[in-house]
Homo-oligomer: A and B are copies of this chain.
């Protein structure tokens, strides 16, 4: 598998130079569903009803589910966490900490939602999308989002 991967990277690189059109990894609906199952299982295990939103590398929605008891306010929050994580290529926790530290200027950026629970989906150093979770405390949402994002490590094996 390792050889194929190196080869694949080589081809990506070659392609970019040769024809000036790059190649990128891309999330599929099948993968998004796997990520959601992992996140939902973690939420059930923690006994919390959440909304799970998964976007692609363009910030566009691929998959969404609202667990039965989840509050309606989490619909937009989960989506915005996912968009925030892919648009700025970092977990939303990073912004939570900055705003908590007094950096209110970040509130002027529409696509930033400064609460834990948004995590980029990274595959072989490519940001292929993001997951956003809302419904518990920011810390709980972060744990559930991570349970989903971690699936990428197994897929990569």
Contacts and interface: CB of A to CB of B under 8 A. Distances in A.
Interface of A: 1, 4, 7-8, 11, 14-16, 18-34, 56-68, 71-73, 75-77, 80, 84, 86-89, 95-96, 99-100, 102-105, 107-115, 123, 128, 155-156
A65 B63 contact: yes
A23 B20 contact: no
Given A20-B155, A59-B72, A105-B114, 19 more contacts: A4-B15, A8-B15, A15-B25, A19-B123, A21-B123, A22-B27, A56-B58, A58-B72, A59-B60, A60-B66, A63-B64, A71-B89, A73-B88, A77-B109, A99-B104, A100-B103, A104-B104, A107-B107, A107-B108
A23 to B, nearest CB: 6
A72 to B, nearest CB: 5
Contacts of A64: 61, 63-65
B26 A21 contact: yes
Contacts of A26: 21-24
Nearest to A115: B105
Given A4-B11, A110-B76, A111-B76, A23 B24 contact: yes
Contact of A18 (B1, B11, B58, B72): B1
